[in-house]
Amino acid sequence: MFQVDMFQVDMFQIDMLQVAMSSFEISTLVHLLVAVLIAGSVFIQWRAVHPAVTSEEGGDQVREGIRKRWAPFVHAGSLLMIVTGLYQLMVHGLATANFQKTLEDGGMPYHMLFGIKFLLAMGALFIASAMVGRSEGLAGIRRNGGTWLGLAVILVIVVIVISRLLAGLPDPV
Protein backbone atom coordinates (compact mmCIF):
# COMPACT_ATOMS: atom_id res chain seq x y z
CA MET A 1 0.00 0.00 0.00
CA PHE A 2 1.14 3.53 -0.66
CA GLN A 3 -0.45 6.91 -0.27
CA VAL A 4 -1.20 9.32 -3.11
CA ASP A 5 -2.45 12.67 -1.86
CA MET A 6 -5.24 11.76 0.55
CA PHE A 7 -5.98 8.28 -0.86
CA GLN A 8 -4.40 4.94 -0.15
CA VAL A 9 -3.92 2.79 -3.27
CA ASP A 10 -3.51 -0.97 -3.28
CA MET A 11 -1.01 -2.19 -5.93
CA PHE A 12 -3.47 -4.92 -6.97
CA GLN A 13 -5.96 -2.26 -7.98
CA ILE A 14 -3.37 -0.50 -10.12
CA ASP A 15 -2.48 -3.77 -11.87
CA MET A 16 -6.16 -4.41 -12.61
CA LEU A 17 -6.46 -0.95 -14.19
CA GLN A 18 -3.52 -1.63 -16.49
CA VAL A 19 -4.90 -4.84 -17.96
CA ALA A 20 -4.86 -4.65 -21.73
CA MET A 21 -5.46 -7.16 -24.47
CA SER A 22 -2.61 -8.43 -26.60
CA SER A 23 -2.77 -8.18 -30.38
CA PHE A 24 -3.45 -11.93 -30.52
CA GLU A 25 -6.40 -11.57 -28.12
CA ILE A 26 -7.79 -8.65 -30.12
CA SER A 27 -7.41 -10.66 -33.32
CA THR A 28 -9.20 -13.61 -31.72
CA LEU A 29 -12.02 -11.38 -30.52
CA VAL A 30 -12.49 -9.78 -33.95
CA HIS A 31 -12.31 -13.21 -35.61
CA LEU A 32 -14.98 -14.67 -33.32
CA LEU A 33 -17.32 -11.67 -33.52
CA VAL A 34 -17.22 -11.61 -37.31
CA ALA A 35 -17.62 -15.39 -37.45
CA VAL A 36 -20.73 -15.21 -35.27
CA LEU A 37 -22.12 -12.39 -37.40
CA ILE A 38 -21.60 -14.18 -40.73
CA ALA A 39 -22.56 -17.65 -39.47
CA GLY A 40 -25.69 -16.27 -37.83
CA SER A 41 -26.69 -14.40 -40.96
CA VAL A 42 -26.25 -17.52 -43.09
CA PHE A 43 -28.45 -19.49 -40.69
CA ILE A 44 -31.15 -16.78 -40.64
CA GLN A 45 -31.10 -16.54 -44.42
CA TRP A 46 -31.43 -20.31 -44.70
CA ARG A 47 -34.35 -20.71 -42.28
CA ALA A 48 -36.18 -17.36 -42.53
CA VAL A 49 -35.20 -14.91 -45.25
CA HIS A 50 -34.77 -17.14 -48.28
CA PRO A 51 -38.02 -19.10 -47.78
CA ALA A 52 -39.95 -15.87 -47.18
CA VAL A 53 -38.70 -13.97 -50.22
CA THR A 54 -39.06 -16.91 -52.58
CA SER A 55 -42.66 -17.64 -51.58
CA GLU A 56 -44.01 -14.09 -51.47
CA GLU A 57 -45.03 -11.80 -54.27
CA GLY A 58 -42.50 -8.98 -54.57
CA GLY A 59 -39.85 -11.18 -52.99
CA ASP A 60 -37.27 -10.18 -55.59
CA GLN A 61 -37.48 -6.55 -54.50
CA VAL A 62 -37.13 -7.51 -50.85
CA ARG A 63 -34.19 -9.78 -51.66
CA GLU A 64 -32.47 -6.99 -53.58
CA GLY A 65 -32.99 -4.60 -50.67
CA ILE A 66 -31.48 -7.10 -48.25
CA ARG A 67 -28.61 -7.82 -50.65
CA LYS A 68 -27.69 -4.13 -51.00
CA ARG A 69 -27.59 -3.65 -47.25
CA TRP A 70 -25.88 -6.90 -46.35
CA ALA A 71 -23.24 -7.25 -49.10
CA PRO A 72 -20.73 -4.79 -47.57
CA PHE A 73 -20.85 -6.65 -44.24
CA VAL A 74 -20.26 -10.02 -45.90
CA HIS A 75 -17.37 -8.72 -48.00
CA ALA A 76 -15.67 -6.82 -45.17
CA GLY A 77 -16.35 -9.69 -42.76
CA SER A 78 -14.84 -12.22 -45.15
CA LEU A 79 -11.70 -10.11 -45.45
CA LEU A 80 -11.46 -9.74 -41.66
CA MET A 81 -11.95 -13.50 -41.17
CA ILE A 82 -9.18 -14.34 -43.62
CA VAL A 83 -6.73 -11.73 -42.28
CA THR A 84 -7.29 -12.53 -38.59
CA GLY A 85 -7.28 -16.28 -39.26
CA LEU A 86 -3.94 -16.11 -41.07
CA TYR A 87 -2.54 -13.84 -38.34
CA GLN A 88 -3.55 -16.38 -35.70
CA LEU A 89 -1.97 -19.16 -37.74
CA MET A 90 1.32 -17.25 -37.88
CA VAL A 91 1.34 -16.10 -34.25
CA HIS A 92 -0.12 -19.12 -32.47
CA GLY A 93 -0.58 -21.95 -34.94
CA LEU A 94 3.00 -22.32 -36.10
CA ALA A 95 4.27 -22.36 -32.51
CA THR A 96 1.63 -24.94 -31.59
CA ALA A 97 2.56 -27.12 -34.57
CA ASN A 98 6.27 -26.93 -33.71
CA PHE A 99 5.59 -27.73 -30.06
CA GLN A 100 3.36 -30.62 -31.09
CA LYS A 101 6.28 -32.18 -33.01
CA THR A 102 8.29 -32.40 -29.79
CA LEU A 103 5.64 -34.44 -28.00
CA GLU A 104 5.47 -38.21 -28.16
CA ASP A 105 1.71 -38.16 -28.72
CA GLY A 106 0.72 -34.66 -29.78
CA GLY A 107 -2.68 -35.66 -31.11
CA MET A 108 -4.00 -34.80 -34.56
CA PRO A 109 -1.60 -32.70 -36.63
CA TYR A 110 -2.30 -28.98 -36.31
CA HIS A 111 -1.61 -28.17 -39.95
CA MET A 112 -3.96 -30.87 -41.18
CA LEU A 113 -6.82 -29.63 -39.00
CA PHE A 114 -6.14 -25.99 -39.86
CA GLY A 115 -6.03 -26.78 -43.59
CA ILE A 116 -9.38 -28.59 -43.49
CA LYS A 117 -10.91 -25.80 -41.40
CA PHE A 118 -9.58 -23.12 -43.76
CA LEU A 119 -10.93 -24.83 -46.88
CA LEU A 120 -14.36 -25.42 -45.32
CA ALA A 121 -14.50 -21.82 -44.06
CA MET A 122 -13.60 -20.56 -47.54
CA GLY A 123 -16.51 -22.62 -48.91
CA ALA A 124 -18.93 -21.08 -46.41
CA LEU A 125 -17.63 -17.57 -47.16
CA PHE A 126 -17.97 -18.24 -50.90
CA ILE A 127 -21.61 -19.25 -50.48
CA ALA A 128 -22.30 -16.19 -48.33
CA SER A 129 -20.66 -13.98 -50.95
CA ALA A 130 -22.53 -15.66 -53.78
CA MET A 131 -25.83 -15.04 -52.00
CA VAL A 132 -25.18 -11.29 -51.74
CA GLY A 133 -23.49 -10.97 -55.13
CA ARG A 134 -24.89 -9.81 -58.47
CA SER A 135 -22.89 -12.01 -60.83
CA GLU A 136 -24.95 -13.85 -63.43
CA GLY A 137 -22.48 -16.72 -63.17
CA LEU A 138 -23.60 -17.31 -59.57
CA ALA A 139 -27.32 -16.75 -60.18
CA GLY A 140 -27.88 -20.51 -59.95
CA ILE A 141 -26.62 -20.47 -56.37
CA ARG A 142 -29.05 -17.66 -55.52
CA ARG A 143 -31.93 -19.48 -57.26
CA ASN A 144 -31.22 -22.64 -55.26
CA GLY A 145 -30.40 -20.66 -52.14
CA GLY A 146 -32.09 -23.04 -49.72
CA THR A 147 -29.79 -25.89 -50.70
CA TRP A 148 -26.64 -23.77 -50.80
CA LEU A 149 -27.38 -22.01 -47.52
CA GLY A 150 -28.03 -25.39 -45.90
CA LEU A 151 -24.62 -26.53 -47.13
CA ALA A 152 -23.06 -23.35 -45.73
CA VAL A 153 -24.64 -24.05 -42.33
CA ILE A 154 -23.18 -27.58 -42.37
CA LEU A 155 -19.77 -26.17 -43.31
CA VAL A 156 -19.96 -23.66 -40.45
CA ILE A 157 -20.84 -26.40 -37.96
CA VAL A 158 -17.88 -28.52 -39.08
CA VAL A 159 -15.59 -25.46 -38.87
CA ILE A 160 -16.76 -24.90 -35.29
CA VAL A 161 -16.04 -28.54 -34.38
CA ILE A 162 -12.56 -28.36 -35.92
CA SER A 163 -11.93 -25.06 -34.11
CA ARG A 164 -12.68 -26.79 -30.85
CA LEU A 165 -10.28 -29.62 -31.73
CA LEU A 166 -7.57 -27.05 -32.51
CA ALA A 167 -8.20 -25.30 -29.18
CA GLY A 168 -7.73 -28.62 -27.39
CA LEU A 169 -4.28 -29.29 -28.80
CA PRO A 170 -1.30 -28.88 -26.44
CA ASP A 171 -0.24 -25.24 -26.16
CA PRO A 172 3.36 -24.10 -26.17
CA VAL A 173 3.95 -22.25 -22.94
Alpha carbons 60 and 139: distance in angstroms, whole number: 13
- 54-70 per-residue burial string, b: 16 or more CB within 10 A, e: under 16: eeeeeeeeebeebeeeb
Q: What is the mean pLDDT of the chain?
A: 85
Convert the pLDDT of each residue in 83-111 to its tens digit. Answer: 999 999 999 888 888 888 888 776 778 88
Predicted model pTM: 0.80
What is the Rg, in whole angstroms, of the alpha carbon atoms belonging to the chain? 22
